[in-house]
Chains A and B, each alone.
Chain A
Amino acid sequence: MRKKNRESDADEAQIDLTPMLDVVFIMLIFFIVVASFLKEAGIEVNRPDANNSPPNPDATSIAVTITGDDQIWMENRRIDIRAARANIARLLASDPEQSFSVKTEPGASAGVLVEVADAAREAGVKQVNWAAEEKK
């Protein structure tokens, strides 16, 4: 009699965990699948708010223009993308706090813009400002 009592007690107190385990495992698998540990990498380009105001040809600012056919112009002459970093670094040497801005004409491709921004950052520019010229 006493033995039987203890037996039924043990049976009632035990909860069957199997359904909960099933649910937990399914949730676990769902979140593992959904979790995409994707880290986007890139470079930061600042777009000033007042982009309709023309960038002033200030002496204390480095300006680069990318034309519609992807030519890079700096200091009134055309430069190659490979020479951009050296040119920017040379201008930056006189005043390391200078601001840097790229102006793009419509039709310029994003790849050239990124390359110029990369060259500038490599040369030590802190923030790349980008002003796009609107279509006429």
Chain B
Amino acid sequence: MSRRGRSMTAQSGSGGGGSDGEIDLTPMLDVVFIMLIFFIVTSSFVKEPGADITKADALTTESCVRGTIIFAITGSGEIYYDKKQLPIGRAYRLAEAAKKEAPKANVVIQADVDAPTSVLSELTGVLKPLMDAPLCVSTNEAG
């Protein structure tokens, strides 16, 4: 009560009763900053291949650890990365650039159920030097 009285006398001229209606923004700012930092840290900038594929179902599906470099192979054997179709020759350079950006990232291939294994094999062969872990073939969890 006494505090309000004092501030009123001090700021009555310029504030025009501002101190009465003013809300302390500090706690909200704290929360907003923490959220901001959280989202900056967690954002991984995954480039989705954007191809329409049907993944195979698998009972032993597990999560691909840090699988953020994602290629897709459609049923007709076309390779997609970052929503664009590309020839196999460019796959290595794109994956290398992605790997440079995020050195811990692993390669994931989304293969359509009808995708020929010859294309999958070729793509795996091209990307093999960049892989630290076995190839992760994307599947749907069955059951």
Contact = CB atoms under 8 A, between A and B. Distances in A.
A34 B44 CA distance: 9
Nearest to A47: B124
A7 B112 contact: no
A80 interface: no
Interface string B35-52: 110011011111010000
A38 B43 CA distance: 10
B48 A38 contact: yes
Contacts of A3: 9-10, 13
B1 interface: no
A108 B61 contact: no
Contacts of B58: 42-43, 114-115, 117-118, 121
Interface stretch (B78-86, B87-95, B134-142): B134-142
B113 interface: yes
Contacts of B33: 24
B137 A132 contact: no
Contacts of B70: 40
A127 B60 CA distance: 12
A110 B137 contact: yes
A82 interface: no
Nearest to B133: A44
B14 A109 contact: no
Interface in A1-51: 3-4, 6-7, 10-11, 17, 21, 24-25, 27-28, 31-32, 34-47, 49, 51
B67 A42 contact: yes
Given A109-B114, A110-B116, A122-B59, A27 B36 contact: yes
A38 B125 CA distance: 26
A79 B110 CA distance: 26
A107 interface: yes
Contact of A35 (B39, B124, B133): B39
Interface centre among A10, A31, A35, A114 (most CB of B within 10 A): A114
Nearest to B135: A45
B134 A41 contact: no
Contacts of B32: 21, 24-25, 28
A69 B37 CA distance: 52
Given A108-B116, A110-B117, A110-B120, A118 B111 contact: no
Interface of A: 3-4, 6-7, 10-11, 17, 21, 24-25, 27-28, 31-32, 34-47, 49, 51, 66, 104, 106-111, 113-115, 117-118, 121-122, 127, 130, 132, 134-135
8 contacts: A31-B36, A31-B39, A39-B64, A40-B70, A115-B56, A118-B59, A132-B120, A135-B118
